Amino acid sequence: MSQPPTTPPPGGVTADQSMEDILASIRRILNEDEAAPGAAAAQPAAPSAPAAPAPQAEAAPLILTEEMMVSPPVPAPEALTPVPPSPEPMPVPAPVPSADALLAPAVAAAAAASVGRLLQAVSADRTATVTRGGPSIEDVVREELRPLLKDWLDQHLPGMVERLVRAEIERVVGRALS
């Protein structure tokens, strides 16, 4: 809604003068509020004459208190999703003892069990929580890549481990001989 342009009143009062009147009225109210607690204690029922007539359109100032403050909304707790039980680990075939094994079979079994527990802990930490009721893209990709990765590791891991161990042994032996 637009207002038609107003012309200044005939007495020469402009918008600046009315703004100054409003500001003076606000200052007067603030001064009265500051003086009211001290004056009320000193003169409980003394009638006073107003310094200037108050405009009739002016309303009493609103005083905000702590009770009126709106508390911030409490965030809703996140939905808890049950963690699916981890699948049972596949049984490890019994190690074939060899004459030149570096570790005793009991030590090797303990190390394998420790690594298995570590893998379960890591996989439990990496499970993604789903809040919308379905698997995430990460879960789908992980499930699709798992058999491919297993096949690749079955083919390449023994050769890689053998090559890396041989290189490390040659490095240590080379240091010992020099």
The string of DSSP codes covering 137-178 is HHHHHHHHHHHHHHHHHHHHHHHHHHHHHHHHHHHHHHHHH-
Q: Residue 6's pLDDT is what?
A: 52
Query: Which tokens is 113 given?
Result: 């069990």
Which residues of the chain register pLDDT less than 50?
Answer: 1, 46-47, 49-50
Q: Residue 55's pLDDT is what?
A: 52
Tell me the residue length of the chain: 178
Q: Residue 56's pLDDT is what?
A: 55
The domains of the chain are located at 146-178
The three-state secondary structure class of 63 is: coil
Q: Residue 151's pLDDT is what?
A: 92
Query: Tell me: the pLDDT tens digits for 151-172?
Result: 999 999 999 999 999 999 998 8
> CA nearest 123: which of 106, 136, 104, 142?
142
Q: Distance from CA of residue 33 to its chain's centroid? A: 44
